[in-house]
C-alpha cells in the first residue's frame, strides 16, 4: 500500500496493524472505561515503538495498573481488541482473547502482585469506538471465550449498533 496509504489508514482509524489497533483501544480503555474521575492511573506499560528501542521488563505486565479512588484498591488491566468472533475447529463461535502463555503470565502477575488482573476486551470494527466492551477476571478466563461468557462479562454496548 505504501507510506501514504499506511498513514491514511492510521489517521482514519482503519489501520489493520495490530500495534495501531491495540494502542487505540488502550487509549479508549484508559480514557473512557477507567475514567480519571473514578480511577488513578498508577502504571502503564511502554508502547510498541518504545520497546523496539530497548525492551523494558515491566512491559510483560498487563497494560495498566489502576487504583479505585473510592476503595483505594489497585488492580491490573490488560486491554485486548478483536474485530469479532470466529468458528473454532468444532464449529463453535468463539473469541480468541489471548494465547495460553499470555493468560498464564497474567495469572502469575495476579499471584505474585496480590492484585486482581482483568482483561478488558473490545470487539468491533474500530478500536476507538468498540461495539462491545467486556471485563473478564483472569481467574475466570480462557484463551477462547464462548458467546455465553461474553454475555456474562459485558460491561458496555454501543447503543447506536
pLDDT in tens, 92-136: 999 999 999 999 999 999 999 999 999 999 999 999 999 999 999
Q: Is 86 helix (H, G, I), strand (E, B) or coil?
A: strand
Task: For residues 26 and 121, give the distance between their C-alpha atoms in angstroms, rounded to a whole number.
Answer: 10
Q: Is 97 helix (H, G, I), strand (E, B) or coil?
A: coil
Please tell me the predicted confidence (pLDDT) of residue 58.
63
Domains along the chain?
17-157 (3.40.1350.10)
Do residues 147 and 85 lie in contact, with contact meaning Cβ atoms separated by under 8 Å? yes
Residue 77's CB is within 10 A of a number of other CB atoms, namely 22
pLDDT in tens, 22-31: 899 999 999 9
Amino acid at each position: 500500500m505504501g507510506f501514504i496509504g499506511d498513514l491514511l489508514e492510521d489517521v482514519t482509524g482503519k489501520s489493520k496493524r495490530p500495534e495501531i489497533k491495540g494502542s487505540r483501544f488502550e487509549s479508549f480503555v484508559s480514557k473512557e472505561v477507567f475514567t480519571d474521575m473514578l480511577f488513578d492511573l498508577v502504571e502503564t506499560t511502554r508502547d510498541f515503538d518504545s520497546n523496539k528501542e530497548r525492551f523494558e521488563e515491566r512491559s510483560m505486565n498487563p497494560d495498566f495498573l489502576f487504583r479505585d479512588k473510592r476503595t483505594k484498591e489497585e488492580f491490573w488491566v490488560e486491554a485486548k481488541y478483536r474485530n469479532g468472533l470466529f468458528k473454532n475447529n468444532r464449529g463453535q463461535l468463539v473469541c480468541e482473547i489471548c494465547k495460553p502463555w499470555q493468560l498464564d503470565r497474567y495469572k502469575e502477575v495476579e499471584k505474585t502482585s496480590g492484585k486482581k488482573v482483568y482483561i478488558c476486551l473490545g470487539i468491533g470494527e474500530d478500536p476507538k469506538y468498540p461495539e462491545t466492551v467486556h471485563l473478564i477476571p483472569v481467574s475466570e478466563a480462557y484463551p477462547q471465550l464462548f458467546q455465553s461468557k461474553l454475555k456474562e462479562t459485558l460491561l458496555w454496548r454501543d447503543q447506536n449498533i
